[in-house]
Amino acid sequence: MLRPFQERTPILLEEGKHLLQNAPLGKVEERVRRDSSSFYPRGSFHSAHLQREVYGGSKKVKAKISPKDYLTLSIRNILFIERHAPSLVEKLPLFMGGVVVPGEGIVDIFMEDYTRGIQAELWMPNRNPAYTIPELEPFITEGREDILPSMVAVIDGERRILDLDQCPWKQEYFRECSELAPFRERLQPYLITVDSLPFKL
């Protein structure tokens, strides 16, 4: 059984951060939004914590949002889903964190690579209602449920959840979401610092 996201993520970030020194294996376009992000698989590492191979890569956020804000919102929403829809835990990223370069701040997002080094086929259903996430519908603002299919990635036929920064939760959950958001020092466990990135994206 997986440990909670906030417990396992710092461990996996530390175990896998050497992948950031690897040249990207390619580029995976996440064509969900007009301002789509790009993902760069960087290989795999053996996790002593999970006792298995884990794939990681760098996400370059192109939207009009900083990597820090994207990371803060995504982690907040992962923790919210973990609490309210535990059946979806296996669909969420194993880990996600920010890559800090001294003097530059958070430059990239380092997270699980769903494509397993571009070995797996990735398909984005966009807003196809057949690919909604019914477990989250009770928590989404009425009339905004159509955003859920855009958070789905189909990997070799299996559904996973991504683009976690965009969940429009109902107003009654705003306070809880604010309490879950890793603002300021609470973001620190989700950050890894490297002296430099030899392969800038």
Query: What H or E segment, with its residue span, contains residue 167?
Result: none
What local confidence, expressed as pLDDT, does residue 32 receive? 42
For residue 59, being part of any structural domain is answered with: yes
Question: How many whole angstroms separate alpha carbon 173 and alpha carbon 22?
Answer: 40
**Least confident window among 20-34, 59-73, 106-120:** 20-34
For residue 69, being part of any structural domain is answered with: yes
Query: Across the chain, which distance is largest between two alpha carbons, in Å?
Result: 46
The domain in which residue 12 lies consists of 5-186
Question: How many whole angstroms separate alpha carbon 38 and alpha carbon 81?
Answer: 24
| Number of domains the chain contains | 1
pTM beyond 0.75, yes or no? yes
7-49: pLDDT as tens digits: 999 999 999 999 999 988 888 865 444 456 789 999 999 999 9
Beta bridge partners of 90: none
